[in-house]
Chain A
Amino acid sequence: MLVVGAGPAGIAAACCAAGNGAHVGIVDNNAIPGGQIWRGETQNSRVSEAANWLRKLATSRVEILPAMEIFASQEPGTLAAESADGMHELNYKKLILCTGARERFLPFPGWTLPNVMGAGGLQALVKSGMPIAGKKVVVAGSGPLLLAVAAYLKTHDADIRVIAEQAPWAWLMRFGLSLPFHGQKIGQAFGIKKQLSRIAYRPGCWVTSAEGNGKLESITLRTGQKTWKESCDYLACGFHLVPNTELPALLGCEIRGGFVRVNDFQESSIPGVYCAGEPTGIGGLELSIVEGQIAGFAAAGQPEKARGYFGERKRQRRFSAALERTFALRNELRPLPAEETIVCRCEDVRFGRLRGQSSWRAAKLQTRCGMGPCQGRICGPAAEFLFGWKVESARPPIFPVPVESLAAATCAE
Chain B
Amino acid sequence: MPSAFSVTVNGKRVGVTEDMTALAAIIVSGTAMVRRSVSGEPRGVLCGMGVCFECRVTINGERNRRSCQILCRQGMDIRTDE
Contact = CB atoms under 8 A, between A and B. Distances in A.
A114 B68 contact: no
Contacts of B76: none
B19 A345 contact: no
A348 B44 contact: no
Contacts of A67: 69
A36 B48 CA distance: 10
Contacts of B37: 112, 342, 345, 348
B46 A378 contact: yes
A124 B48 contact: yes
A102 interface: yes
Given A129-B24, A214-B33, A345-B37, A378 B71 contact: no
Interface of A is mostly: loop
B34 A114 contact: yes
Contact of A378 (B27, B32, B51, B69): B51
Interface stretch (A52-60, A115-123, A151-159, A224-232): A115-123
Contacts of B56: 373
Nearest to A132: B27
Interface string B40-60: 011111111111111010000
Interface of B is mostly: loop
Contact of A348 (B25, B39, B51, B53): B39
Given A112-B37, A372-B53, A373-B53, A215 B16 contact: no
A377 B52 contact: yes
Contact of A124 (B27, B38, B49): B49
Contact of B68 (A102, A105, A124, A377): A124
A378 B44 CA distance: 15
Given A29-B69, A378-B51, A125 B24 contact: yes
Interface of B: 16-17, 19-21, 23-25, 27-28, 32-34, 37-39, 41-54, 56, 64, 68-69, 71
Given A112-B41, A125-B45, A215-B42, 19 more contacts: A36-B49, A102-B47, A102-B49, A105-B46, A112-B43, A114-B32, A116-B44, A117-B47, A118-B47, A120-B48, A125-B27, A128-B24, A129-B17, A130-B28, A346-B38, A348-B39, A348-B41, A372-B53, A374-B53
3 closest A-B pairs by CB = A114-B44, A129-B20, A129-B24
11 contacts: A30-B50, A31-B69, A69-B50, A113-B44, A114-B44, A115-B44, A215-B44, A347-B38, A373-B64, A374-B53, A377-B51
